[in-house]
Chains A and B, each alone.
Chain A
Amino acid sequence: MGTSAGGFLDGTRVLDLSTAHAYTAGKILASFGADVVKVEPPGGERARTTPPCRDDGDSIYWSHHNAGKRGITLNLERADGAALLKRLAAEADILVESFTPGTLAGLGLDYTALAPVNPRLVFVSITPFGQEGPYSRFKAGELVISAMSGILTLTGDTDRAPVKEALDAHIFHANCAAANAAIMAYHHALRTGEGQHVDVSIQEVGASRNTKSIIGWQFDRRVTARTGNRQVVGQIFGRWIWGLRDGVAFFNLMSGKVGAPSNRALSAWLDEAGLVNPMQGIDWENMSRAAITQTQRDTWDEAIATLFGRYGRDEMRAEATRRGLNVCVANTAAEVLAHPQLLARDYWQGDVASHFVLSTPAANKLARAAAPRPGEHNAEVFSRLGISQAALGALEAQGVV
C-alpha cells in the first residue's frame, strides 16, 4: 500500500461498518491516506448489487464508493464475531457506522461499549435523523430524507409533484460532513487522548442547504416553493436553467459588480443578434436582482431564452468563452468522463475518481483504486490480532468470518 508522497492521515486506522448510507465518508478518509477496513457480513453485504451495475452484475455504485478500502468479513450477530470487532476497535482511531440507532447497542458494540476498550476512539454514526429524538428510528432512503430536509419541496415544476434531485445527494453530502466531523474529532483525540461519539443526521445536513428558505420563513413568514427552471432570490423568480438547440445550460444572472461583466456581454450579444433587448441601458454595477420587479426580470429571461435557444452546445461553449459570459453547458455522461480538466488533473484511476482534493506535499489519492472483494483482507487483518491461518479457517467454517 501507500503512494510515495503519502497522505494527510497516513497511519490512521479506520474501521468502516458502513451500510448504504455511509460509504463515502470512509472513501474520503482512504483518499487522505487512512487505512480503512470495511467490515461486511460473511459473503459480503447485500448492497454489493446496488444499481447501476455492470453487465457481470457488479455494482458500479458499490465499487466506486468503497474504492480504496480493505475488506474483511465478520458476523457481528455472533458473540465471537462481536468479540473480534471489539479487539479491532481497540486498535482503531475512527469507527464509522450507519446502522439504525440501537442496533449496535443490541450487539454490545455501541459507543458506550467500545469507549472503555478504547477511550481515544472517534465513533461516527451516520443515520437519516440522528441517534436520539422521535424520528431517530424512522426508515428512510434518499427520497424520504429529502422530503424531511425541506429540499424536495423546492424541486420540480409547479404542475406536478415535487421531484427528487439527482441520485442520492443528501447521502453524499452527509458523508462529506461526516468525514469532516470525524477528522475534527480525531484531531481533538490526538491532542487530548479523548475520543467521542459523533452523531450525523442526514436530514440536518440537508437542511443546512436550506438557509435561504429558512431565512424567508423566519423573517417574512414566506414559504419558498418549487419553480421549475427558475430560482428564487428574495421574492423574485429568475430563470437559471436554459434550453439549447441540443442540450441544457446553466446561467445565473448575478447582482452588482459580480454579475456586471457577464450581464453587459449578454446585452451586447442581444444587440448583435438583432433581438429585442430589454437589457439595454441598465446600470449593472448597481443592479440588485432581488430588488428589480418580476415583470422586468421576466422580459430579460424571455430575451435570453430566445437567444440561447438558437445555439448548440459546442457553439454556446465557444460563444461564452469568446464573450466572457458565465454560461456553463451541461456535460453529457461521456463528456464528464473525458473532461480535459479532470484528465489534466489526473483525476481517474481506471474508472474510479481517485481524489477529493489535490494537495502537496501529501498526495491524497487512493492508494488502491479497487474496492475489496468480500473478505479479501481477512488473513492480513486478523493476523494482526494474532489469529493464525488455522484459527481463521475454523472461524470461517463456523460462519464467524
Chain B
Amino acid sequence: LKRKEWCDVAKELLDGVKILDFTWAIAGSMTTKQFADHGAAVVRIESRTRPDLTRFERLSSGSSENNPDDKPWFCDINSSKYSLTINLKHPGARRVIMRLVDWCDIVAENFTPGTMKKLGYDYETLKAHKPDLIMLSSSVFGQTGPFAETWGIDGTGNALSGRLSASGWPDRAPTLPSASILGDIVQPYVNAAALTAALIARARTGHGQYIDSSMFEILVQHTAPAAIEQAAKGADFARHGNRVAWAAPHGVFPCAGDERWLAIEVTSDDEWRALCAEMGRASLAADPRFITLAQRKANEDALEREVAAWTHTQDPHHAMLKLQTAGVAAGAVQTAADIVDRDPQIGQRGALVTLPHPPLEPFGHQAPPYKFSRTPHTMRTAPNLGEHTRMVCREFLGMPENEIDTLMADGLFV
C-alpha cells in the first residue's frame, strides 16, 4: 500500500477517513451516515438559506415548524456527522471550501446534476486543485445522457425501473409502501460501497476517482430479469399479489385481532404436510386438490381459504413460532410497534440506538443494519445546524480563533 498513514492502528472501522459532505435529502444523508457511524469524520456543508429537506418536514410531535434541530428523521440519517454552515455565495466561501477539499479524502454530493458546476465545485475544478480526490455525484438519472438533468426523487426511480408497475394485486392498480422508500435507501449502500472501494483503489494506484451513481440504474439491476421475461412475451410488468410460481400456499393470512396478519411460505410437499399437522388438519394433507405443488397452485383460492380458516383464530406471533418450530416459513406481519417494543431479534441486534437530542426526548436511532465482529459502530447524536462550524475550522483546518471570529463577523458562516 502506498499510503503510510493507512497503516496506523485503526480502532474504528473507518478511522481517519475524511468526507466533505455536500449531500442533502435522503439518499445523500444515508450514504455518508454509513461512514460517520463507523468512525469517519463527515462534515456536512449546510446553510440556513438552503436547508436539508428533512430538517423541516414535521413528521411527529416534538417537532416544530421552524426549528431545524428537532426533526427525528434528520437525526436518524445524519447521526455521527458534523455540521458547518456557510453561505456559498459569500466571496470568502471559496477559500474555506477549498481548504476543506484539501483536508478531505472524499467529496459527496447529490444535487440535481449541473448544480456543483454552477457553484464552481464540479469534479474537474476540484481535481485540478487536488488530483487524488475521490468524488461522488449521486442522482436519479446519472450525470450523463439525455435525461441527466431531469429532476427526480425516490418514487421516480420506482416508476422508471418497473418496481411500481410490478407491485400489488393483479386485478388492481399498482401500490407502494405508504411510508417506506427504497431507491433512496438502496442507492446509499451502493454509493458507500463504491466510495470505499475507490479508497482502496487510491491506496493501490495513487489515483482518485469520479463516481457517477444513478438510482435508475441501480434499481434496474433488480428489475431487469422481470423486464426481460415480460418484454420477450410482449407484455408489461406483471403484478402477482403475494403469490409466486414456486410455492403454495404463499400468502398473507388474517389472524385474531384487529389488523393482525401472518405470512406463510410453503416451498415443498413436506412443508405442506407439516403445516396441515400444525393446523390440526392432518386430513387436509391427503386432500387430492393439495398434495403436490402443481395441485396446490391449481387450487390456490381454495387452498388459501383453508389456511385462513385456521389463522383467523391464531395470534400471529404465536402461530409464527409454532410453524417455524415445525419447519415452515412463517412471519408475523409486524408494525413499527412490534419492531420497536416487541421483536426480540431486532432488539438483540441493537437495531435502534437510543441517543439524546434535545429538545427532542432521547429516541432510538437506526444503526447501520450490519454488524462487524471486530469494529462495532459508534453512533453520536446528529448535529444541530452549524453546530460544528467553529470546531471544524479550528481542529480540521487549523484556523486561528481570531480568523474564525473575523469570518463569523463577516457573515460567512450562516
Contacts and interface: CB of A to CB of B under 8 A. Distances in A.
B335 interface: yes
A166 B166 contact: yes
Contacts of A181: 368, 370, 372
- By secondary structure, the B interface counts as mixed
Nearest to A60: B225
A234 B58 contact: yes
B185 A336 contact: no
A243 B198 CA distance: 43
B211 to A, nearest CB: 5
Contacts of A296: none
Contact of A240 (B59, B155, B204): B155
B329 A140 contact: yes
A343 B351 CA distance: 40
A336 B364 contact: no
B145 A203 contact: no
A357 B192 CA distance: 11
A250 B229 CA distance: 24
Contacts of B253: 161
A44 interface: no
Given A183-B196, A356-B194, A133 B372 contact: no
Interface residues of B, number: 157
Given A217-B335, A241-B174, A361 B209 contact: yes
B231 A334 contact: yes
Given A8-B201, A141-B267, A208 B176 contact: no
A55 to B, nearest CB: 9
A217 B337 contact: yes
A177 B177 contact: no
Contact of A148 (B62, B165, B203, B332): B332
Contacts of A209: 177, 180-182, 185
Interface in B215-232: 216-218, 220-232
Interface stretch (B83-91, B295-303, B340-348, B392-400): B340-348
A229 B164 CA distance: 11
Interface stretch (B93-101, B240-248, B283-291, B381-389): B240-248
B246 A190 contact: no
A188 interface: yes
Size band of the A side of the interface?
A: 35 or more
A183 B38 CA distance: 13
A352 B222 CA distance: 11
With most chain B CB atoms within 10 A of its CB, the pick from A144, A194, A362 is A144
A209 B218 CA distance: 16
Interface stretch (B6-14, B114-122, B402-410): B6-14
A234 B344 CA distance: 27
B414 to A, nearest CB: 17
Interface in A323-382: 326, 328-334, 336-337, 339-342, 344-345, 347, 351-353, 355-362, 364
Contact of B200 (A179, A187, A213, A243): A187
Interface string B250-276: 111110000101111101000000000
Contacts of B68: none
B340 A217 contact: yes
Contacts of B222: 24, 167, 169, 172
A229 B145 CA distance: 31
B177 to A, nearest CB: 4
A157 B155 contact: no
A50 interface: yes
B72 A215 contact: yes
A328 to B, nearest CB: 4
A290 interface: yes
B152 interface: yes
A133 B344 contact: yes
A4 interface: no
Contacts of A138: 324, 329, 331
Contact of B227 (A11, A215, A337): A337
Contacts of A225: 178, 259
Contacts of A306: none
A180 B201 contact: no
Interface in A121-176: 129-130, 132-136, 138-141, 143-157, 160-167, 169, 172-174, 176
Interface in A184-243: 184-188, 190-192, 194, 196-201, 203-205, 207-234, 237, 240-241, 243
A154 B218 contact: no
A164 to B, nearest CB: 5
Nearest to B26: A211
Contacts of B163: 165-167, 169
Which 7 pairs of residues, A with B, have the shortest CB-CB distance?
A166-B166, A8-B197, A52-B229, A144-B331, A147-B263, A219-B60, A344-B145
Given A153-B335, A188-B13, 4 more contacts: A180-B370, A181-B368, A288-B58, A333-B162
